[in-house]
Amino acid sequence: MRVVFPGSFDPATQGHLDVARRAAGMFDEVVVCVLTNPGKAGRLPLAERLALLTDMTSDLANVTVDSSSGRLLVDYCREAGIGTVIRGMRNLADVAHELPMAQMNRHLTGIETLFVPADPAQAHVSSTLITATTRK
């Protein structure tokens, strides 16, 4: 089964890598897809995020890195022949944010979303927090 692990990954964290590794152990192919989030002011250009993720996942033979911009995740999934989305969950705020989207995606397109609980050692880290604390 082919699945997608989407996100802005700006920057990619060890928590993201943990979710990708765990998904790689459960599925035939994992596509880590860097999406553009217009509501998030990021630090790293797309090319750097792709290179970083490619390097971070280089030891995972069944993980590839891709990107998508200007279209819905469900459209990317349909075009790529992917029927399942993987989302890492750190806390209840993540669940509150992701659950309605997962339900709507399933209702409209049949795409399923699987939530992977974060490793407790990584659960306090977020790309947004890293970006906010490292701004000059």
Q: Given 40, 58, 71, 97, which residue is catalytic? A: 40
- Torsion sign over Cα 36, 39, 13, 115: negative
Answer yes or no: 40 catalytic: yes
> Is 69 annotated to bind ligand?
no
> Is 128 annotated to bind ligand?
yes
Answer yes or no: 90 catalytic: yes
> Is 49 annotated to bind ligand?
no
Answer yes or no: 69 catalytic: no
Q: Which residues contact 85 (CB under 8 A, 6 or more apart)?
A: 3, 4, 5, 6, 73, 77, 102, 105, 111, 112, 113, 114
Answer yes or no: 136 catalytic: no
> Is 90 annotated to bind ligand?
yes
Q: Given 21, 43, 78, 90, which residue is catalytic? A: 90
Nearest-5° angle of CA 85, CA 74, CA 111? Answer: 50
Q: Which residues are known catalytic residues?
A: 16, 40, 90, 127
Write out the binding residues for ATP: 8-9, 16, 88-90, 98, 122-128
